[in-house]
Structure 1
Amino acid sequence: MADGTGAVEIHAISKRRFDAYVVWARGVGPLPPITEVEWLEVKPAKVLATVFVDLTDRDLNSAVLAPDLAGKYRAVETLQSHTNIPDAVNGTAESMVRVLKNYNNARTQGDEKPSADFFAKVVKESKLHTRFKYLRDSPSAVAAKRLIEIAMRWYDNQDGSYVEQFQTTGFDPRVWELYLWAMLREAGYRVEQPKPAPDFLARGILGDFYIEATTANPPPPNLVVPLPETAEAIHDYIHNYLPTRFSGPLWAKLQKRYWEREGVQDIPFVIAVQDFHQDLSMTWSQSALFEYLYGVRIEEVESDGKVQKVEVPVTDLEWGDKRLPSGFFKLPDSEHISAVAFNAAGTLTKFNRIGIAAGMGEPNVTARHEGRRFANDNTGVEEEFSQVVSEDYEEDWIDGLTVFHNPNALRPLPFEALPGAAHVFEEDGLHRQFFPAGHLVTSTTTLTVKNGSGPTTSVAAH
């Protein structure tokens, strides 16, 4: 598609690529009810556009966007009441050409403010986190870096310490926060970042809720527990050790008593926890979190020649000299916690996959994502998968997220608040689970870098 002279090429692109640049732009307040149907680009992302249906009056409209002088993609022209989609695409393309020809003036908003630069070094090189340096410097992380560079222009440095922690001791927790922010925006929420806390206030058509992020972090070097290798060691690790890693951060958040703050007591409050205490430990984290939250363990019992799964109460957690109460949702004051959310896939590697799928990677870097998902036919069967990550690859930010609902919550979180997530809940005294088709269970990603005529290097990560 061109402007008649062939000077400007306008490409149809995927919603995935469009959102990689634009999903961050949602501010505060409820989102307008629209459905996007087409997405366009003047490469490389100089001008973007979308054609959408306004669900209020069924009008076919479009919006043209370009990066303002601070690098934030914002609307520069809005076109209304197109007759049909082909006319909408042609009219929008003409608008994109006009914007490009008057580019600097068209994209100037007049209220630009500098945003935080996550990669502007604020400490000595020796203090930088190894994974931050990997993100900053490694060819295999280029897609994640480019995606984060776009997102960071919209992210509020809420407590003034985000960049310093992102580069040093708080790298993993800050990536987890950034993941949650991305997930909420993709889910259609406008997201506020209250000061000083909780981390996020998600505002949507179906209601509002708070999310506070926390992480299970590495213990002191002398207390690191090696990853188990035998079946007996894995059982001990999952059922006795891992729950103790979740008890600390969740208990600490409970002691903050966020529900006593103005406004927080009125709507659901969710704690989102991630496990970074050891590389690859999150392979088993979700089942351990289930046990700690509900104070029950799922065991297989044979009766009359049949194997059945039964719930066994777990009153206390014991590991070494530690003895802690199990059943977080049974603790005093826990009724103020509506749910706990977890996603083993909410890591830097997810940013890389989504960045590659949005066309932000380099041609010499390939990624293969493999693991287990629930079948797409809603049978509830887990299936192995192996996919090359390309621009045809599909993955949502919410993919892999599980929400554990508190049966005693004073303000329950509706399932519809996060419909793309898996949900664990209590019904008739038993714990049940709902998994959307294709829900990600566990996975790893192998990134391969081809260095011209030199050696090929591969990196595996969650």
Structure 2
Amino acid sequence: MLDLFTPRFRKEKLHNHFRLISADPDYAKAQPIIQNWATGLLDRRGESQKFINEFQTTFNSSMWELYLNRALIDLGCSVDFSKSAPDFFVRGPGNYEFNIEAVVSDQPPTAKQQKTFNEQDFKTRGALKLAGKIRDKLDLYRGSNGKKHPYSSMSHVRDRPFVIAIAPFDSDLSLTQNNELINMVLLGLTPPVLEGPDLGKQDKMTSLRKPSGAQVDMGVFTNDSFKEISAVFFSTLGTFGKAVVESKIDRLVRATRYRVIDKDRIAPGSELWQVGTHRFQFAALNYLLTQRRESEHQIGGADMLIQHSSFHRETHLDGLQVYFNPYAEVPFDPKFPWPVEIALNYYDVESGEHIQAHPDGALVSRQVYEITPAYIRLLLGRYGFIR
């Protein structure tokens, strides 16, 4: 297999993340993991050299394709790389065929991070970028703007589900957004209220305003305006951090997992399902904060974990979310055998509700830090383990 990591360009042309992975001995263990993700992907005729060049110079979009390629293998799928477009012509279990076009919302190479952080601006900007990238790929499918060979005209695309796989890389903080911004774009839902009597409540929204003043539609899966898209795959976790935790490099991992259980399945006296906020330390560098709230039949909430990477468990598919378009011309097969860790999202046309089929333990977010006293103090302080 062609080697992703032998530098092909002068140092100043290499992407910062690629430079770090290829030069820092700490990350040597992550290289064979990422190389393994490329299985089959580098066999595409005429495309492999271009792919490696982009991986080394622009990085993020290639990293996302590498993540997806491995995810498809774990889903029990194969990819026919004789088709040059869209990015993945997939054959799943039972010979079920569909196409995936991959895209990231990236920042231009010259982008400067703003010195002051405004959460509302960050969310608006991030949602507009996601919406713009999804629209661009829909235009490729439709053949808008005079494109000569739209995806819809290709025989292997016609009458098969068309999926857009998108990940946000548009700012240094874009991977902290969980699924809030994609929920704005696809389902027209504002971020949930985080405290007070309206805890968890989400309002509806129909559009966001660009800096130019133009309005951009939100909630594109709540009507038939994007009916050519069967589903969207989304993750903030299909990143270099995934390769770091898969390689078990010595790192500090901060992760959040969604938790839910039927009350009749809770063992009597279970400390981990106590309602409210509780903190546990199981070992050196193995901390858990539980947040639990009660509904009629269930206890739900979240686990926040701060752990040495040797304690952290994460599959390649952890963090992958799928959104189904109820208005799709070619719906994605509802009987597709999804592995347990994947979070599925539906929109109920009758009730206008977002239906989250998220498994107990679904990985919501994860960041990786060097193990330094400063990071340990920062994380333990943030979650109330030290004052």
Q: Same fold (TM over 0.5)?
A: yes
Q: How does 1:246-261 map to 2 (within 5 A)?
A: 246-257=130-141, 258-261=151-154
Q: Unmatched 5+ residue regions in structure 2?
A: 142-150, 263-298, 379-387
What is the CA-CA distance between 1:278 and the residue it aligns to? 1.1
What code does the residue aligned with 1:397 have? H
What corresponds to 2:305 in structure 1?
A: 385
Give, in angstroms, the shift of residue 148 of structure 1: 2.3
SS of alignment partner, residue 98 of structure 2? strand
Q: Report the counterpart of residue 133 of structure 1 in structure 2.
A: 19
SS of the residue corresponding to residue 120 of structure 1 reads coil
1:435 aligned onto 2:354: no
Pairs within 5 Å for 1:262-301: 262-284=155-177, 286-297=179-190, 300=193
- The AA in structure 2 aligned to 1:401 is L
Please tell me whether the aligned partners of residues 254 and 307 of structure 2 are also in contact (alpha carbons under 8 angstroms). Answer: yes
* Equivalent position of 1:235 in the other structure: 120
| 1:373-452 correspondence to structure 2 within 5 Å | 373-375=257-259, 377=261, 379-390=299-310, 393-414=312-333, 416-419=336-339, 420-427=341-348, 428-448=351-371
Q: Which residue number in structure 2 is paired with residue 314 of structure 1?
A: 205
The residue correspondences of 1:294-373 to structure 2 (distance < 5 A) are: 294-297=187-190, 300=193, 306-307=197-198, 312-323=203-214, 324-329=216-221, 334-356=226-248, 365-373=249-257
> In the superposition, relative to structure 1, how do residues 221 and 126 fare at CA in structure 2: closer, same or farther (>3 Å)?
closer
Shift in Å at residue 299 of structure 1?
5.5
User: Deviations along 1:179-227, whole A, 9 cap, x unmatched?
Assistant: 0111111122222335321111332225232221100010474675556
Letter in 1 for 2:205: V
> 141, 156, 166: which one pairs with 2:42?
156
- Residues of 2 paired with 1:441 and 1:301: CA distance? 16
Deviation per CA, 1:376-405: give whole Å up to 9, x if none: 746442111123223x75311110111111
2: CA distance between counterparts of 1:342 and 1:150? 21
Does the 8 Å CA contact 1:343/1:400 hold for their aligned counterparts? yes
Q: Match of 1:199? A: 87
Using the TM superposition, give the Cα deviation of residue 430 of structure 1 relative to its aligned residue in structure 2, in angstroms: 1.2
The residue type equivalent to 1:137 in the other structure is: A
1:145 counterpart = 2:31: yes
Secondary structure class of the residue paired with 2:370: strand
TM normalised by structure 2 equals: 0.74
The one-letter code matched in structure 1 to 2:135 is: W
Which residue matches 2:5? Answer: 119
* SS state at 2:179 partner: helix
Which of 205, 208, 222 matches 2:97? 208
Q: Is the 8 A contact 1:116 1:152 kept in 2?
A: no
Q: What is the SS of the residue equivalent to 1:375?
A: strand
Greater relative CO (CA pairs within 8 A, separation 6+): 2
- What is the CA distance between 1:339 and its match in structure 2? 1.1
Is there any run of 5+ residues in structure 1 with no aligned partner, and where? 1-114, 357-364, 450-454
**Greater Rg, structure 1 or structure 2?**
1
Alignment of 1:38-49 (within 5 A): none
Pair 1:186 & 2:186 matched:
no
Alignment CA distance shift 1:188-1:319 (3 Å): same
Cα pair distance change 1:355/1:192, threshold 3 Å: farther
Query: 1:452 aligns to what?
Result: none
Go from structure 1 to structure 2 and tell me whether the alpha carbon gap of 1:140 and 1:301 turns closer, same or farther (over 3 Å shift): closer
Q: For the aligned residues, what is the CA RMSD?
A: 3.1
- For 2:105, give the aligned amino acid: A
Q: Name the counterpart of 2:64.
A: 176
Post-superposition CA distance 1:406-436 (Å, at most 9, x none): 1211222245343331111112321121111
TM-score (norm 1): 0.63
384 and 299 in structure 1: CA distance in 2 versus 1, 3 angstrom threshold:
closer
Residues 372 and 383 in structure 1, CA contact (< 8 A), matched pair in contact too = yes
Answer whether contact 2:5 2:31 (CA < 8 A) is retained.
no
Contact 2:37/2:67, CA 8 A, preserved across alignment = no
Q: Percentage identity across aligned positions?
A: 28
Q: Aligned to 2:86, what secondary structure does the other structure show?
A: coil
